[in-house]
Homo-oligomer: A and B are copies of this chain.
Amino acid sequence: MSKQEQELIELSQLSSVVGCGAPLAREPIPAEQAIDLSRAFKALGDPVRLRLVSLIASHDGGEACVCDLTAGFDLSGPTISHHLKVLREAGLISGERRGTWVYYRVEPAALARLSDVLAIEQGVRA
């Protein structure tokens, strides 16, 4: 094995450890990675869930409880909770119970991974 081949293998192992995705324009996404990524994109494929992620991420201290989130929507508490569960199962947010409330935070690494996959090099931006 050449030194270059060895380096390529090490790089690909490193990449799978940190969970970053190569931009989709660099090479075809493998089927398994596509299943994983598409689950996260599907979770964002709903306007309420996208707004919830944005509300949590932009909230003071980077966290928000359901009590902070319901005001912005004409939806019931259980409906908001359902959407939060979908986001949680997709790995985009995490929740921690403290007293009466569960406090939600976004998972920066998960959002960054999706952002990186869609990143198009500046030169080819329309």
Contact = CB atoms under 8 A, between A and B. Distances in A.
Nearest to A115: B118
Give chain A's interface residue range (CB within 8 Å of chain B). 35 or more
Contacts of A27: 54, 58
A42 interface: yes
Interface stretch (A8-16, A95-103, A105-113): A105-113
Given A25-B57, A58-B25, A38 B42 contact: no
Number of copies: 2
Nearest to A46: B38
Contact of A119 (B62, B106, B112, B120): B112
A111 B115 contact: no
Contacts of A108: 120, 124-126
Contacts of A82: none
A115 B119 contact: yes
